[in-house]
Structure 1
Amino acid sequence: MSWLDAVQWNADGLVPVIAQDVSDGTVLMMAWMNREALQATLRCGEAVYWSRSRQRLWHKGESSGHVQRIHAIRLDCDGDTLLLSVEQLGGIACHTGRRSCFYNVLDNGDWQVTEPVVTDPARIYGSTDDER
């Protein structure tokens, strides 16, 4: 059996992927991969995802320069989720200009923004939709 066959792809041929900063354990983002994206990630050593909105491969950082260098790829016990240990080059993983996409915290029934914008997304992309 191929290592790719151990992954439990969903009905769309995708698997959810969590990217975690290798330096401090911060969960940076969640995205999707198909077989081609996972193979490309392994081949180039940087995160390559499947963009569901654009229906194409998306090399993280292709617009921003904020690439994710792979340190380890892990498959969970059910085979249906990947965890990437990454070095986040450029310091920003989120298209909103924040370090992490997980900057909203539920507090007494309200979402509270807990992380500042590090760089204005318009300065990075020209618009905020380029890295989604």
Structure 2
Amino acid sequence: MSNWLDEIHWTADGLLPAIAQDHRTGRVLMMAWMNRESLQLSVAEGRAIYWSRSRGKLWRKGEESGHVQKLHEIRLDCDADVLILQVEQLGGIACHTGRESCFYRVLKDGQWHTVDAVIKDPNAIYEGHSHE
């Protein structure tokens, strides 16, 4: 029996892009990186756990903010090199800027325009912690 993790085409540095998507609305919430350990733990714990490249360690989404991503489904693309995590975003905020989604800027007339409002002040979310 093959290990399902072996069917994934990891990058040279052992990572895989993972897109978190709201399981109800389909809205893309964020993109982060996963390694084998973070993906295994995500499945075991039923919540999104990523690999923080900047911190060089596992990052349990919501460990500082309280905005956990509960896993509903994981999908692997046709090339086996990108995941979509169907999640329930607890607290309604996925982005460290205090917005529902990290994708809150739209290109219009050659400029980026912010189209989503801040739901909660990031300073109030993290209270002295570094942003996820």
- The one-letter code matched in structure 2 to 1:18 is I
SS in 1 for 2:5: helix
Q: What is the aligned partner in structure 2 of residue 121 from structure 1?
A: 122
User: How far apart are the structure 2 equivalents of 1:128 and 1:43?
Assistant: 26
* Alignment coverage as a number of residue pairs: 131
1:51 and 1:3 mapped to 2: Cα distance? 23
Query: SS of the residue aligned with 2:40?
Result: helix
Moved over 6 A (4+): none
Q: 1:23 deviation in Å?
A: 1.2
Gaps of 5+ in 1: none
For 2:35, give the aligned amino acid.
N
Q: Quick one: distance in 2 between partners of 1:2 and 1:128?
A: 37
Supply the distance in 2 between the matched residues of 1:117 and 1:128 (Cα, whole angstroms): 18
Q: TM-score, normalised by structure 1?
A: 0.97
In the alignment, is residue 90 of structure 1 matched against residue 84 of structure 2?
no
Counterpart contact for 1:18–1:27, Cα < 8 Å: yes
Which SS does the other structure have where 2:44 is aligned? helix
C-alpha distance in 2 between matches for 1:58 and 1:130: 11
Whole-angstrom distance in 2 between the partners of 1:97 and 1:43: 28
Q: Does 1:44 align with 2:45?
A: yes
Partner Cα separation in structure 2 for residue 119 and residue 127 of structure 1: 15
Q: What is the CA deviation profile of residues 18-65 of structure 1, one whole-angstrom value per residue up to 9, with x for unaligned ones? A: 000011111000000000000000000000000000000000000000
Partner of 2:75: 74
Provide the C-alpha distance between the structure 2 equivalents of 1:53 and 1:128, rounded to a whole number of angstroms. Answer: 15
Identity of paired residues, percent? 62
1:129 shift after superposition? 3.7
Give the whole-Å Cα distance in 2 for the aligned partners of 1:101 and 1:128: 19
Does the CA-based 8 Å contact 1:103-1:114 persist in structure 2?
yes
Paired residues of 2:105 and 2:113 also in contact (CA < 8 A): yes
